[in-house]
Amino acid sequence: MVFNMMKKADVKKSVMYTIDLTKIDGDGAFTCPKCGTLISPDDETDENYQIVETKVKDDELAELILMCNKCRSTIKLVGFLSQPIE
């Protein structure tokens, strides 16, 4: 079997920003790391961003990938799952 070394390079081509929701105060709104557009979970107009992909783990939202409609940056949201406290 020959491993395709090009695969990783393809993924790296587009910049993806990661936002950790556990480090955001308030209602989960944040600004685009590139252009500063406010991205709010309460915004249902699709004007500022659109949802590209959602990843669910154990019936809970684990990851959300958005695209900023202004600068076309891809933004990955993590931190939906609360860490178990023991």
Q: Please name every residue paired with 56 in a beta bridge, in sequence order, or none if there are none.
A: 61
Q: Which is nearer to Zn ion, 56 or 71 (CB)?
A: 71
Minimum Å gap between C-beta 12 and Zn ion is: 19
Cβ proximity of 81 and 59 under 8 Å: no
**Contact call for residue 38 and Zn ion (CB under 5 A):** no
Q: Is 56 in the site for Zn ion (CB under 5 A)?
A: no
And the tokens for 49? 């961003």
Residue 85: what residue type?
I
Tokens, residue 21: 């929701």
- Residue 15, interface with Zn ion (CB under 5 A)? no
**Shortest distance, position 32 Cβ to Zn ion, whole Å:** 3
H/E run at residue 11: helix 6-12
**Closest approach of Cβ 9 to Zn ion, in Å?**
24
Placement of tokens 């500063």 in the chain: 36
Q: Assess 76 for contact with Zn ion (CB under 5 A).
A: no
What are the residues binding Zn ion (CB under 5 A)?
A: 32, 34-35, 37, 68, 70-71, 73
